[in-house]
Amino acid sequence: MTGRDLFVISTGNLLRMKLRTFLTTSGVLIAIAAFVAMLSFAAGNQKYVEEEYLRFGLFTTIQVSPRGGSEGADSSRGPRLDRAALDRLAAIPGVNLVYPYEAFTVRVKLGDTVLASKAQALPATALRTRFFATLTSGRPFGSDSSRQILVSDELMKKAGRPDSVLGLRAVVSVRVSTPDSGLAHVLMNRGESIIDRLRRIRTDSLGNRGYRSRTIRSEIHAAMQRFMEGFLQAQETLTDTLTVCGVYHVNRSGRLRTEEMVIPLVTAARFNNAGMSGSPSEMMASLSSGSPFGESRDASGKTFSLVTISFDPGVLSTTIRDSVEALGFRAFSFAAQFEQIQRFFLAFDMAIGVIGLIALVTASLGIVNTMVMSITERRKEIGVLRALGANDLDIRALFIVESGAIGLLGTSLGIFCGWALTRIVSMVARGYMKGQGLPEIELFALPVWLILIALGIGIGVSVLAGIYPAGRAARVDPVEALRNE
């Protein structure tokens, strides 16, 4: 019996028993469709993550932060992450680029709209890394001291100018408080000079110990209060007019966070180093770090909470990470994170695989039942084939090919239906994302390996389901089967 004969016979049987074939196939179809749809979801997300990592060049990116810093459970405080540390990081073999994360609150006037926003300072070289190289329009600024600015698509939307922003003027202003403005308030407050205040003190009573200490305490208290008031209110405003040279897509996810504006490093230094920012939260942060003024004024003494390293693709991320850690810093490797994500997806895939397999085993019981019933009906046929010279293997093959054909049919249709299902869900999800103003993400992927695994498992389980009926068919006694009733 040739493979072709087996195929013709079994498809003939399946076509003849349409309802039964439909019901048996449906079981396999549903199991495979669910299996494919679920794994397609996992694969889609996996693909999305991998593409994002590739898009941002994260496999060659490491983020450095000081040890014992804000997130530090480490008791030991590591070295300062300052300019000198940046040079040491840049000297690690394989490192292409080192740049700190520096953000500050600004007011920006775009066209006629004034917005409060946050800006980030970056060297021009950082824009050449893939991390920032995804401009939706325009081009990166030419140098660190260009009088240009990159803005996010979101900011443009807020400004009511979703398009045609290139070449637009952006008036950026930063309000900074300096110790000078504070001191000025100590000397002069609400039209009252410190001389007037001092005049009110009764000098003759200063001999009284109680009065003396009360007066000193209240005056010091008042001076402090006036200093803080001045510091908070009498801020200087630094203004700069820059030209929008490009638009990028803002990223808000965790460590990849980018702000709404990117200003060239040297151009931004003016705002950045002028003094403490006017934002209370930033102020509190720099106060708690113990260096409210001195360090931020002096460029060389400034410290950073986060520094990004971009390195040669030929160098292992673990090598770079080890070097960074050897310098006493905390290193976060995206490559290592990706490995963890991969491991998670593997576990997820396997869990779904097990569920799919259980569904498929249930469906395969349907196949076993169908095939066993088919033996009873086809006893005479088996007997005839025996008389014509069929051996055990021929009879077995007949039933295994038939259950395999059910499997092939069910699996193929199942893959198609699973795919169709993901298309529908994807369309609905995209519609929802669009409605919510979210970026449209493709949630599903149907890679070749998934199709092959589905086919392998679907047909494999069906063939296994055919083994028992095939064995029974081979044991049918031809003499009994051919006896005339």
Partner 1 sequence: MTPACYLQTTDLCRHYERGHRVVKALDNVTISIARGEFVGIVGSSGSGKTTLLNLLAGLDTPTSGVVDLDGVPLSSMSRRQLAAYRAAKVGMVFQSFNLIAHYTALQNVETAFYFTGTQPVERRRLAAEMLERLGLADRATHRPSDLSGGEQQRVAVARAIVKKPELLFADEPTGNLDLENAGQIASLLTMLHGEGLTIIMVTHNLELAGQRTQRIIRMQYGRLDRGDHSDARADARPDAREGAIP
Which spans of this chain sit near partner 1 (rule: CB under 8 A)?
Answer: 1-2, 4-5, 12, 16, 380-381, 383-394, 478-479, 482-485
Least distance (Å) from partner 1 to the CB of residue 49?
Answer: 53
| Cα atoms found within 13 Å of the Cα of residue 60, Cβ hemisphere only | 19
**Given the complex with partner 1, which of 299 and 387 has the nearer CB atom?**
387
Q: Which amino acid is at 469?
A: P
**Given the complex with partner 1, which of 16 and 209 has the nearer CB atom?**
16
Token pair listed for 373: 């019933």
**Given the complex with partner 1, which of 229 and 394 has the nearer CB atom?**
394
Token pair listed for 96: 């292409």
Least distance (Å) from partner 1 to the CB of residue 367?
Answer: 21
Give the integer Cα–Cα distance in Å for 276 and 293. Answer: 7
Instruction: Encode 3-60 in three state secondary structure.
Output: HHHHHHHHHHHHHHCHHHHHHHHHHHHHHHHHHHHHHHHHHHHHHHHHHHHHHCCHHH
**Given the complex with partner 1, which of 64 and 398 has the nearer CB atom?**
398
**Given the complex with partner 1, which of 245 and 390 has the nearer CB atom?**
390
**Given the complex with partner 1, which of 5 and 339 has the nearer CB atom?**
5
CA max distance for the chain: 140
**Given the complex with partner 1, which of 74 and 392 has the nearer CB atom?**
392
Least distance (Å) from partner 1 to the CB of residue 384?
Answer: 5
**Given the complex with partner 1, which of 149 and 390 has the nearer CB atom?**
390
Give the integer Cα–Cα distance in Å for 274 and 288. Answer: 19
Least distance (Å) from partner 1 to the CB of residue 462?
Answer: 23
**Given the complex with partner 1, which of 55 and 483 has the nearer CB atom?**
483
Contact 362, 34 (CB under 8 A): no
**Given the complex with partner 1, which of 204 and 485 has the nearer CB atom?**
485
Least distance (Å) from partner 1 to the CB of residue 19?
Answer: 15
The DSSP-derived string for 245-313 is EEEE----SGGG---SEEEEHHHHHHHHHHSEES-HHHHHHHHHTT-SSHHHHSGGG-B-S-EEEEE-T
Least distance (Å) from partner 1 to the CB of residue 391?
Answer: 4
Torsion sign, CA atoms 456, 459, 461, 466: negative
Token pair listed for 184: 């000025």
Q: Which amino acid is at 462?
A: S
Mode of pairing for the β-strands spanning 169-177 and 329-333: unpaired
Least distance (Å) from partner 1 to the CB of residue 353?
Answer: 39
Least distance (Å) from partner 1 to the CB of residue 399?
Answer: 15
Least distance (Å) from partner 1 to the CB of residue 9?
Answer: 9
Query: Distance of CA 46 to CAs 356, 426, 448, Å?
Result: 19, 15, 14
Contact 84, 294 (CB under 8 A): no
Place of tokens 């490093």: 265
Query: Distance of CA 361 to CAs 309, 410, 463, Å?
Result: 51, 13, 12
Least distance (Å) from partner 1 to the CB of residue 368?
Answer: 23
**Given the complex with partner 1, which of 383 and 458 has the nearer CB atom?**
383
Mode of pairing for the β-strands spanning 61-66 and 135-138: unpaired
Least distance (Å) from partner 1 to the CB of residue 41?
Answer: 44
Give the integer Cα–Cα distance in Å for 483 and 380. Answer: 9
